[in-house]
Chains A and B, each alone.
Chain A
Amino acid sequence: MPPIPTKSEIRNRYLLMKPSPSTGAGLYIHVPFCTSVCLYCDFAVTIAGEERRNAWAVGVVREAEMYADCGLTFDTIYLGGGTPSSVVPERLDSIFVGLRGQLEINEGAVCYLEANPEDVTLETTTLWRQLGVDVVSLGVQSFDDEALGFLGRQHSASVALAAVEILLAAGFHTVSVDLIYGLSGQTPGGWKAQLARAVSLGIDHLSCYQLTFHEDTLFGRRLAHGLIEQVPEREQAELFFLTHEVLADAGFEGYEVSNFAAATRHRSRHNQKYWDHTPYLGLGPSAHSLANGRRWWNRRKVRQWQTAVDSGRPPIEDEERPSREELLLEALMLGLRTTDGVDLNRICERHGIDLLATNAATIDRFCKSGHLHMDESRLRPTLTGLAIADTLARSFNL
């Protein structure tokens, strides 16, 4: 681990970030608290009382202070977690006020909040609106109580449905629902019904994630011990294509591997930044940042992050400065996850390499096989290409 930088070193290292001319930077705040931990979760989360939650909220603002006058202007703020909706609105308010005091945040910055159904009430939604939340991502995961129980979620399907109704009525810019698929025993028909249910609600955005088994989770261990099964690859692929087809038929644009928007304006502007190397600053435990050709990330354990922040030290765990090849690989791996693909002209400007010239055979091969297509200067994946975005990215000679 590198020696922990001092505050002034931080300034010199990270702060003179070139503001991006077209888009502003993204601000991510990690809320490391949940009321219980889901069985498949590998996020940095903990269950903690009001005292620690309060300390965290103060800490986030303190951390932001370390990045004051960093040169970035933010036009998206994303509260992710964990369970941001479990943070009492007054505390959210104090965080917003604190952040605006330290960082350059645009007037019209879009504000995102992840919410769990059990936290959504008429009262909380009204307050969130007042706080300026534009987009709510609701962690529904499933409309099937049995599946919810299997996942270890706290809510029931009816609670989720009620929450969607409340959110839609509250006048948010975008109401998004998260679903999980690929639970063992799930049939294509069953999943189709789930999707139909979601679509029928009139929501603006959907994120459909295939269940992933992370090593250090209870699910991961159960899988390793053969107590649960993973859906076979062939069926996973089938569910993936089914998802995209069903949602396309329902008028949703599958603009990323797992993300679908009812209209372009409902796409996640914040997440887009991760996929096209727009700078972002992450605050809170485990949060990652990218700016000025560097990535750095915070300590994952809440206590360690808190101790650092409380003593005025940056809570950074480590950093890396990706090489040109590494950045290129990232650009491909991320860009090819989205239907916008990668803009080869922009790659050329940013990294000084003309992929069309250096990888003509590869591009040609995947265009012929129907995985990629050229659209002016953009190299876009088709749906089958999206499904093998990792293979595509790996195939380039950089």
Chain B
Amino acid sequence: MLSPYRVLDLTNERGLLCAQILGDLGADVIKIEPPGGSPARKIGPFFEDQPDPNRSLFWWSYNRNKRSITLDYARTDGREVLFRLAKDAHFIIESDSPGYLASLGLGYADLAAKNPALIGVSITPFGQDGPKANYADADLVILAAGGPLVLTGDDDRPPLRISVPQGYLHACADGAVGALAAHHERCLSGLGQHVDISAQQSLALATQSGILAAPFGADQFRRLAGGVKSGAMFSQSRWPAKDGWISCTFLFGSALGVFTTKLMRYLGEQGWCDEETAHKDFIGFGQALATGVEPMSEYARVRGILESFTAAHTKDELMRLALEKGFLFAPVTTIEEVAESPQLRARDYFQDLEHPELGRSFRYPGPFVKFSESPIRYRRRPPLIGEHNREIYCGEMGMSDRELSQLQAGGVI
């Protein structure tokens, strides 16, 4: 889909996913690393727990379908090389602090002056401008600033992050959306433009629009382990199973109450509760609790019934019931269970990529969608440091061997 286009990926550990998405769509992505390798290669976990820049699983996660060259573009001769590359490129993605590339004379405006059709994407914690644009950042910091952190975790403990860092991934995916929108416009106008992404703003999407509670004059959501509180009400979504936990949506109101009604009727039929409980008005139950028509103790009693039911069944049994009866159950799945999921296997989801230098292949999550006509292909495993220096510098840019060796000797490549 994007095979006619070239992407220069200058990002550090914050921005790697963005260009990988474009690479999955077929673009020719050149990852430009500092000599010695990207700092992202120092982030684990590592294959066989051996810290090595070519064994970083963090690096592998976000650099498939890219080629790698090394280049120190902070130096004058390196800067010239980057200009040459940018002249023929269609996208350039970067995630340095705002103003850093411009201070080297390599800001979007500098590059676009030579190549007006170039699209530049910048992925930063707070965006290119504003009072916090130069704040020091980390995954936890942007999660705190962007809204999802306060909503996550147990109510008697501090807010909690997802243990696999998520913050910048949201920003990177938004960066790919912006890049493609700019590309569509370029097809009309012939001109590129700059796309400015703030991770803080990207993360607000992870609040389920709870971020609008203030301007809507509404109660805010509050965190609850395995659920959420809203006003006086709370909803529990984690329930015990015989062999672990399940997630179950147990809510009321005109849309979700329908599922609860069906579930409670079934529990009645199966003898888990009396007829009266099974036939309560579960559409209106939430309102009845909120207005005090029904006491909260009644809510606790009904939840107790469901809990004794789920606790008596395995995750698999409950999943089968969800499929058969349309209940809103899903197993809380371990990474091992994900890797071995019959559903994902049936869809041929995981892709094995051979890493010849390590003598084996590794299993990667597969295409993010299935295109019928232009399927996503994993053409390249993540590159070794500077693996494509010769191929790109000499083979494609026409540098002579001597020029390349000079740049190498000077530490530029």
A and B are partners in one complex rather than unrelated chains: no
B residues whose Cβ falls under 8 Å from a Cβ of A: none
